[in-house]
Amino acid sequence: MKSIHFLFIAFFIITNLGAVALYNSAVTKYVSKAEDEGKRKEILVRMTEEVIKRLSAEDFATPYQEWESEHISISPLSDRLNINYVGRNIFRKTRLGETLKANTSIEQLQDYRDKNGLSLNISFYDDFIDFEEYPDIFGVYGWANKKQLDVFAGERLKQYINEDDYFPYINTESMLNCNYIDAFLLECILSYPDYKITGFRAKAKTIIERREQHYIQEDELRRILKVANTNPVYDYLGTITWFWEINAADSKGGCRTIIARLPAKDNEEKEYRVYEQRFY
């Protein structure tokens, strides 16, 4: 792979997952008393690994928010449209165009992206998107679905990938988890006229209501939408979050880790890898 920061430069497989009990009071005591910097970092990493272990088990019968504690916070990152990859039609044909700043256009954003490349810094697009009004619509983490990937953005991405099939960076998986997607973005996607989803507002409302009660699984999502399995809406909507942010912290600082789930290939078991990790 070429050396560029927004790809998996520092990917390594998570092994030897710790048996740290996140919610055991002993952990809190252990962290607070760790004076040695190396030991502190080791503890923070082990706490992070325990979260990865939970995510790998996909125990969403218990909401991930309940896994959090005084020293652990967890955030889904990839259930927003990746601003690096999104094409123009969804801006033109839905209310997503309202997220653009006055006197700007999706064409201008695309030209800027084509000229300057892709970025893991969301502020890269500050001149085009009203992030203050729409803070939860766009992000910079997430795989690209090859059917929805903007052509020019796809060519940019491929320049940085030294692999024949561009997997996993470009794949056919649903990009966004219906359990965490912003309500406005959910309705924009369901309203896309080419998808011909009848009663899209009611269906968006049903998804919002159901996910407040329990974690929506794939079969339930399809029963709600009532469209063919080949409908392109499933390029966007699914039930998997691909990128997560985990913050493990104590009174002296913390460890911020971005992890990515690899799409399944050839019946492989699910696998999470570290995408970024830094101490602060």
Which one-letter amino acid corresponds to residue 80? R
What is the structure's pLDDT at 200?
Answer: 98
Query: What would the 3-class secondary structure string for 2-44 be?
Result: CCCCCCCCCCCECCCCCCCCCCCHHHHHHHHHCCCHHHHHHHH
Q: The tokens of 66 are what?
A: 């309940």
C-alpha dist (Å) from residue 17 to 47, 51, 60, 181, 200: 9, 10, 19, 29, 43
Buried b (16+ CB within 10 A) or exposed e, 135-167: eebbbbbbbbbeebbbeebbebbeebbeeeebe
Which one-letter amino acid corresponds to residue 148? Q
- Angle at the Cα of 206 from the Cα atoms of 198 and 235, rounded to 5 degrees: 60
Higher-confidence position of 163 and 146? 146
Confidence of residue 162 (pLDDT cuts 50, 70, 90): confident
Q: The tokens of 79 are what?
A: 């259930």
Round to whole Å and give the CA distance between 48 and 247.
7
Tell me the average pLDDT of the chain: 86
The answer to whether residue 2 scores a pLDDT higher than 60 is no
Burial class of residue 89 in the structure, from the number of CB atoms within 10 Å of its CB (0-12 exposed, 13-18 middle, 19+ buried): middle
CB of 150 closer than 8 Å to CB of 86: yes
Question: 256 pairs with which residues across the strands?
Answer: 247, 278
What is the structure's pLDDT at 28?
Answer: 52
Buried b (16+ CB within 10 A) or exposed e, 32-41: eebeeeeebb
Tens of pLDDT, residues 198-248: 999 999 999 999 999 999 999 999 999 999 999 999 999 999 999 999 999
The answer to whether residue 5 scores a pLDDT higher than 90 is no
Mean pLDDT of 122-141: 97
**How many CA atoms within 13 Å lie on the side-chain side of 118?**
25
* Domain residue ranges in the chain: 25-75+246-279, 78-173, 175-240
Confidence of residue 3 (pLDDT cuts 50, 70, 90): very low
The answer to whether residue 11 scores a pLDDT higher than 50 is no
- How many CB atoms are located within 10 Å of the residue 191 CB? 17
Q: Is the dihedral of CA 90, 169, 58, 62 positive or negative?
A: negative
Tens of pLDDT, residues 33-76: 555 778 889 999 999 999 998 888 876 667 888 889 999 999 99
